[in-house]
Chain A
Amino acid sequence: MNELLAVLICLAGGMTGGLVGVGGGVLFVPALTVFLGLGQVEAESTSLLMIVVVAIAGAYRQNSYGNVRLREALIVGSLSPLGVLVGVALANHVSERALQLAFAALALFMAAQLVRRARSAP
């Protein structure tokens, strides 16, 4: 039963990824921890592997629809490790709660901007 639920949540995670262009980790990680009993770090790491497979399939599909700028994607993707280092350093110097609240505020701000922009689009 737990395995079936994990499969369904991963299906939903992939679908979310395809619809809105994210990797799906936001659902893969809980599927792995809650239903398959993996620890947080193992779940996040395993989720990364799934994200790669999902992103390859999704990017391939989107490319066939003409929705990928490859050069831009390469620049964004190749600079992220630099950011990861900064993120890890930050995590060790700033309180986790402050970071969570700051990111929550940023997420809400971006959500409001997206909605406002979409509503005013022709």
Chain B
Amino acid sequence: MPAGATPDHAIWKLAAIGTLAGIFSGLFGVGGGTIIVPLLIFWFGYGERLATGTSLAAIVLIGALGALAQGGFYGNVHVATGLLLAVPAVLGVVLGTTIQQRIPQRAVSYLFALLLVAIAVELILS
């Protein structure tokens, strides 16, 4: 087992994070990241950068399964529009990850808290 890897007895917590992330994306259409990042920090003591990096890797799988279901079964995905707009979005994510390596980790927590408050306000007002 590599240093710092999750011990086997904690696997159920990872499973719980995955299931919870799925529940919230099923309910609200928000990606699982809003759940995955805080829980990796709270339950596993991940630093902010490790939590956000691992979250993005999990989201690849979550998003792919969701997009396949929506695109494959229901034909709701506008592929050309999505791919075109993915260009500025990828530029943004490259910029965001670069900036993230250069700011203190706690700043990431503050930004995340801000995002959570914005989501809460939006849910309450909707």
Q: Do A and B bind each other?
A: yes
Q: Is A2 part of the binding interface, using a Cβ–Cβ cutoff of 8 Å?
A: no
Kindly state the separation between the CA atoms of A81 and B66 in the bound complex, as whole angstroms.
8
Q: In the complex, how many residue pairs between chain A and chain B have their CB atoms under 8 Å apart?
A: 374
Contact A117 B41 (CB under 8 A): yes
Q: Which of A51, A114, A121 contacts B59 (CB 8 A)?
A: A51
The interface centre, meaning the residue of A6, A63, A74, A84 with most chain B CB atoms within 10 A of its CB, is A84
Contact B124 A15 (CB under 8 A): no
CB closest residue in chain B, given A23: B31
Distance in Å: Cβ of A44 to nearest Cβ of chain B: 5
Distance in Å: Cβ of A97 to nearest Cβ of chain B: 9
Contact B29 A44 (CB under 8 A): yes
Contact B115 A65 (CB under 8 A): no
Contact with A along B109-126 (1 / 0, CB 8 A): 111111111111101101
Distance in Å: Cβ of A88 to nearest Cβ of chain B: 5
Q: Is A95 part of the binding interface, using a Cβ–Cβ cutoff of 8 Å?
A: no
Interface size class of A (residues with CB under 8 A): 35 or more
Which A residues are CB-close (under 8 A) to B15? 75, 79
Which B residues are CB-close (under 8 A) to A53? 82-83, 86, 89-90
Kindly state the separation between the CA atoms of A49 and B4 in the bound complex, as whole angstroms.
32
Which A residues are CB-close (under 8 A) to B19? 79-80, 82-83, 86
Given contacts A71-B5, A104-B123, contact A54 B22 (CB under 8 A): no
Contact A20 B108 (CB under 8 A): yes
Given contacts A14-B90, A45-B67, A108-B117, contact A84 B60 (CB under 8 A): no
Distance in Å: Cβ of A70 to nearest Cβ of chain B: 6
Which B residues are CB-close (under 8 A) to A101? 123-124
Contact with A along B6-39 (1 / 0, CB 8 A): 1000010011011111111111111111101110
Q: Considering the complex of A and B, which 8 residue pairs feature the smallest CB-CB distances, nearest first?
A: A18-B96, A83-B22, A87-B26, A14-B92, A21-B52, A77-B61, A22-B33, A62-B53
Q: Can you list 6 A-B contacts with CB-CB less than 8 angstroms, sorted by A residue number?
A: A17-B93, A24-B89, A49-B63, A52-B64, A54-B89, A55-B56
A residues near B, CB below 8 A?
6-8, 10-26, 28-29, 31-32, 36, 38, 41-42, 44-59, 61-63, 65, 67-88, 90-91, 99-101, 103-105, 107-108, 110-115, 117-119, 121
